[in-house]
């Protein structure tokens, strides 16, 4: 009998998955592309690209308007995608699934609609030190307008949320808005525990799950959160499509965000009556192709299985942390939790004193795509004491050979920028 | 294909490893201007002491990649001791060199940037940064300190 290989073996046939992604076939700077920037956006499988083509070639028509055949097909494909998304995230009703441009717009929707209806001077909200700008700036805009207080939940030294004073920090707070997974540190936060703490304090909670939904099974009912946002393009879907999920009674009570077509039941010279959920929050012609494309992305991920996606990423992250640290030792710092149970496949790297921008330039020469910069999380970068990091982030189409090449080229970059005279 | 050696010339790495005029100046009499590259998080502070229309001292602080740091370092040596007008000419010449349209992309001898810049401005060591134009995302790294100096000169003069 063999010893169970916990965290060490991927359940995925990565070669077969890679073959689904046309872009991963191309060469960059004379080398086969190695895409390690899925934290910024994922690549798209043939199945999603074909779905977009088929929409435009066969059923392109505006939705919820025409009574003709293809308009009905476009409308039903859009609403089928919504129902599919509902099941994918464990939501009780498709009425609660609002299509937005991206996660940023979804948070802005809550800040403008719920925030402006419910928050006034003297009120406060709690966010965390690891938030993306998308979950900071909308609240700062609200704070500037309404005089509300923004509190920041601190981090532990290894990049997890410091929950020691959570109850005190939640005291008197109206909303707790936090990420399910950090786009810089990879940290997975204890969503259910945070939601319970928020509710115990009488606050609502909003979960920015942009870095979680593509990578782990998601169940808003099990999370017991109030709002949850994510974006389509990080999970094999098209750009320009995101989702706000919210509890129906909250969404029903909120005023519309953007006004226009689609979001009304009736308009007269005197005023308008807003539409029902979810269309109340979907003013104008929606991104129909992108909605249907996101539905195809969900089908693609479901066929693999989100448990298998997570197991693959745990195994590969474990491999990356182990091999990179073994080979590069003190030359390399990887921010965030060391335990793969508490992190996703986002590796923010500092290598010797090579600036991340220079590091990514050298990696690019070998066809390796990583993100260099502040990752739209400047307050977190300041806390980490760095201006920028190079971030390698993995997904279903990455394997150990990608990590090995990254490791080799890190060493080459170190040589190139070595402070020793050449 | 543009290789790493086109970008990282030896003189660039030298200025990166041994930056000239690094540090802060007392304000006043010096003036401080601050620039950000929102793309990568680089930040630069240019300290500028203008006396009698002449840049009598200049220094750089902040953080950034080898291109932004070496460009800032070379910039200080290029404008130190120059009049404000002379410094502005150097800025214009450098920014013209960093313009994609001004670059000699087709391999011909004709360089339109010379016409817009006018004669008499020698960029010297700064010519080493010419290769940056082949890497368009890095142009902002190279011009960060220069745009900040430009802003600082306007503020100091104003």
DSSP string, B57-69: EEEEEEE--HHHH
Cβ of A373 within 8 Å of Cβ of B141? The answer is no
Clarify whether A225 is annotated catalytic: no
A223 phi and psi angles, rounded to 5 deg: -65, -30
Cβ separation B1–A30 shorter than 8 A? yes
Residues 15-34 of A with CB under 8 A from B: 29-30
Pair of tokens at residue A328:
């590069």
Q: Which of the pair, A333 or B8, is modelled with greater confidence?
A: A333
Q: Is A388 in CB contact (< 8 Å) with chain B?
A: yes
- Contacts of residue B109, defined as CB under 8 A and 6 or more positions apart, other chains included, come to none
Task: Quote the number of domains for chain B.
Answer: 1
Q: Which residues of B touch A30 (CB under 8 A)?
A: 1
Domain that holds residue B130: 4-157
Contact state of B66 with A378 under an 8 Å Cβ cutoff: no
Q: What is the pLDDT of residue B113?
A: 45
Residues facing residue A207 across a β-bridge: A178, A228
Would you list the DSSP string of A324-343? HHHHHGGGEEE-S-S-GGGB
Q: Which tokens sit at A417?
A: 């920028």
Tell me which chain B residue has its CA closest to the CA of residue A29.
Answer: B1
**Mean pLDDT value across chain B:** 83
A152-190 pLDDT, tens digit each: 999 999 999 999 999 999 999 999 999 999 999 999 999
Distance from CA of B138 to the nearest CA of A (A): 9
d(CA B62, CA B36): 10
CATH assignment at residue B134? 3.90.1010.10
Contact in structure between A35 and A23 (CB atoms under 8 Å): yes
Specify the pTM: 0.90
Question: Which residues of chain A does CATH 3.40.640.10 include?
Answer: 49-303
Mean pLDDT computed over B114-140: 75
Q: How confident is the model at residue B37 (pLDDT cuts 50, 70, 90)?
A: confident
Helix, coil or strand: residue A191: helix
Tokens (6 digits) for A64: 């919820």
Nearest CA to B153 among B31, B68, B21, B27?
Answer: B31
Name the band, by pLDDT with cuts 50, 70 and 90, for residue B111.
Answer: very low
Inter-chain residue contact A387 with B8, CB threshold 8 Å: no
The answer to whether residues A136 and A104 touch, using CB atoms and an 8 Å cutoff, is no
Q: Is A361 on the interface with B (CB under 8 A)?
A: yes
Domain A49-303 has what CATH class? Answer: alpha beta
Q: Are the C-beta atoms of B116 and B102 separated by less than 8 Å?
A: yes
The CATH 3.90.1150.10 portion of chain A extends over 14-32+306-416
CA distance A257 to A117: 11
- Taking any CB pair shorter than 8 Å as contact, residues of chain B touching chain A are 1, 3-4, 7-8, 10, 13, 17, 39-43, 63-67, 69, 135, 138, 141
Q: ipTM, 2 decimals?
A: 0.77
Q: Report the residue of B65, B66, B144 to disrupt the A interface, i.e. the one with the largest count of A CBs within 10 Å.
A: B65
Q: How far apart are CA A312 and CA B156, in angstroms?
A: 57
Q: How many CA atoms lie within 13 A of A3 on its CB side?
A: 4
The predicted model gives B75-90 an average pLDDT of 93
Report, at the CATH architecture level, how domain A14-32+306-416 is classified: Alpha-Beta Complex (3.90)
CB–CB contact A416 B40 (8 Å): no
- For A159, phi then psi, to 5°, come to 85, 20
Length of chain B equals 158
Give B42's pLDDT tier (boundaries 50, 70, 90). Answer: confident
Instruction: For residues A78 and A334, give the distance between their C-alpha atoms in angstroms, rounded to a whole number.
Output: 42
């Amino acid at each position: 009998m063999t010893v169970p290989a916990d965290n060490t073996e991927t359940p995925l046939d990565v070669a077969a998955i890679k073959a689904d992604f046309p872009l991963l076939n191309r060469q960059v700077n004379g080398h086969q592309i190695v895409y390690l920037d899925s934290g910024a956006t994922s690549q798209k499988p043939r199945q999603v690209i074909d779905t977009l083509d088929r929409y435009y070639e066969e059923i392109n028509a505006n939705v919820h308007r025409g009574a003709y055949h293809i308009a009905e097909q476009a409308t039903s494909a859009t609403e089928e995608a919504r129902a599919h998304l509902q099941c994918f995230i464990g939501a009780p009703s498709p009425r609660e699934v609002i299509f937005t441009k991206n996660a940023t717009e979804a948070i802005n929707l809550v800040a403008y609609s719920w925030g402006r209806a419910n928050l006034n001077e003297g009120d406060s909200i709690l966010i965390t030190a690891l938030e993306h700008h998308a979950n900071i700036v909308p609240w700062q805009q609200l704070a500037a307008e309404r005089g509300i207080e923004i509190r920041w939940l601190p981090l532990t030294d290894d990049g997890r949320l410091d929950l020691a004073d959570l109850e005190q920090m939640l005291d008197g707070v109206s909303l707790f808005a936090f990420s399910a997974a950090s786009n810089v540190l990879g940290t997975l936060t204890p969503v259910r525990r945070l939601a319970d703490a928020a509710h115990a304090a009488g606050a609502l909670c909003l979960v920015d799950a942009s870095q979680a939904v593509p990578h782990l099974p998601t169940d808003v009912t099990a999370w017991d959160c109030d709002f949850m946002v994510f974006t389509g393009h990080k999970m094999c879907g098209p750009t320009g499509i995101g989702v706000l999920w919210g509890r129906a009674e909250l969404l029903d009570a909120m005023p519309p965000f953007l006004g226009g077509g689609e979001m009304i039941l009736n308009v007269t010279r005197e005023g308008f009556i807003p539409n029902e959920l979810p269309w109340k929050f979907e003013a104008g012609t929606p991104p129909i192709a992108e909605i249907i494309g996101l539905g195809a992305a969900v089908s693609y991920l479901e066929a693999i299985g989100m448990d298998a996606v997570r197991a693959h990423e745990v195994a590969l992250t474990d491999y990356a942390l182990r091999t990179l640290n073994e080979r590069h030792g003190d030359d390399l710092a990887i921010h965030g939790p060391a335990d793969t149970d508490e992190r996703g496949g986002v590796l923010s790297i500092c290598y010797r004193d090579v600036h991340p921008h220079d590091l990514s330039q050298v990696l690019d020469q070998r066809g390796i795509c990583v993100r260099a910069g502040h990752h739209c999380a400047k307050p977190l970068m300041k806390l980490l004491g760095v201006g920028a990091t190079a971030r390698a982030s993995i997904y279903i189409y990455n394997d150990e050979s990608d990590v090995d090449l990254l490791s080799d080229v890190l060493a080459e970059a170190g040589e190139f920028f070595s402070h020793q005279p050449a | 294909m543009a290789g790493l050696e086109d970008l990282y010339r030896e003189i660039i790495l030298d200025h990166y490893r041994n930056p000239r005029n690094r540090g802060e100046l007392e304000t006043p009499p010096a003036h401080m201007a601050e620039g950000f590259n929102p793309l990568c998080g680089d930040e630069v502070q240019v300290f500028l002491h203008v006396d009698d229309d002449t840049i009598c001292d200049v220094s750089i602080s902040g953080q950034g990649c080898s291109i932004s740091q070496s460009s800032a370092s070379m910039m200080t040596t290029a404008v130190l001791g120059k009049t404000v007008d002379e410094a502005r000419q150097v800025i214009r010449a450098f920014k013209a060199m960093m313009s994609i349209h001004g670059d000699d992309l087709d391999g011909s001898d004709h360089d339109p940037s010379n016409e817009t810049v006018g004669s008499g401005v020698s960029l010297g060591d700064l010519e080493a940064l010419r290769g940056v134009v082949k890497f368009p995302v890095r142009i902002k790294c190279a011009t960060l300190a220069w745009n900040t100096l430009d802003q600082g000169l306007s503020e100091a003069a104003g």
